[in-house]
Amino acid sequence: MAAGGLGTCSWSTLSYTSHFRVRTSSLVVKAPRGRLVRGRPLRQSFVIKAEVKYVNGEEAKQLVAVDGYSVVDVRDTSQFERAHIKSCYHVPLFIENKDNDIGTIIKRTLHNNFSGLFYGLPFTKPNPEFVETVKNQLPPESKVLIVCQEGLRSSAAADKLDRAGFENIACITSGLQSVKPGSFESVGSTELQDAGKAGLVTVQGDISRVLGAILVCAFLFITFFPDLAEKILALIPV
């Protein structure tokens, strides 16, 4: 504690241990209202602390088996059902968007004809109850390993939980796609690293490329030349 009623201040650092890459975000400032900290007036007191570990698949396995981390899977339902870590919590960061306003309908149609068709990805929106759902299942002092397929959603989820007061958070850097078979006991019809594969990209070789090109060209033709497309379709015998 600093003398004379003044507070202390520390800031974010990036450090490496022998096992984990740790991103530590820590800002602590304490001082009475109106006092000076290094010559500047401080209007209010506040404390913010956070820490997120970024680990690989083997290190994640150790966190669960040895250190008692609980696994929170933030992927969408389709990927989760294909394969997930046994006994994990499933709290999707994004949920299926079933809204029926005109803007959403247009976006959903475009999505389903491209990302949905080729990669099997659902049309989603942010889950407004994500943080609250996690809090209902795990207290903020819990050790939490957040997983997704590629590592992006888990990082975003970690940031949300960090802001909500969770103090022990870890993520797999490149997601479950980087986990070796057998690293975790899993449930589902495929391996964890393959759970993100769906849609036409699962069709191998020239078939996938040719079919994809035909469908994309057809979609663009119908979109930009609807009248001509209608005349061509009328020539096709039913």
Q: Using one digit for the tens of pLDDT, what is the confidence trace for 106-127? A: 777 776 666 555 556 677 789 9
Return d(Cα 99, Cα 96) in angstroms, integer. 9
The answer to whether position 210 is within a domain reads no
How many domains, in total, are found in the chain? 1
User: Which of residues 224 and 37 earns the better pLDDT score?
Assistant: 224
Is 148 in the active site?
A: yes
pLDDT at 229: 74
Catalytic residue among 9, 88, 148, 171: 148
Residue with token string 């796609």: 177
Using DSSP, state whether 16 is helix, strand or coil. Answer: strand
pLDDT at 102: 83
The answer to whether position 137 is within a domain reads yes
C-alpha pair distances (Å), 182 with each of 3, 21, 65, 86: 56, 23, 13, 12
Return d(Cα 17, Cα 43) in angstroms, integer. 36
The CATH number for 187's domain is 3.40.250.10
pLDDT at 31: 42
pTM above 0.85, yes or no: no
Residue ranges making up the domain that contains 107: 53-198
pLDDT digits (tens, 9 = 90+) for 162-186: 999 999 999 999 999 999 999 999 9
The answer to whether position 129 is within a domain reads yes
pLDDT over 70 at 37, yes or no: no
pLDDT digits (tens, 9 = 90+) for 124-165: 789 999 999 999 999 999 999 999 999 999 999 999 999 999
The answer to whether position 126 is within a domain reads yes
The answer to whether position 204 is within a domain reads no
The answer to whether position 63 is within a domain reads yes
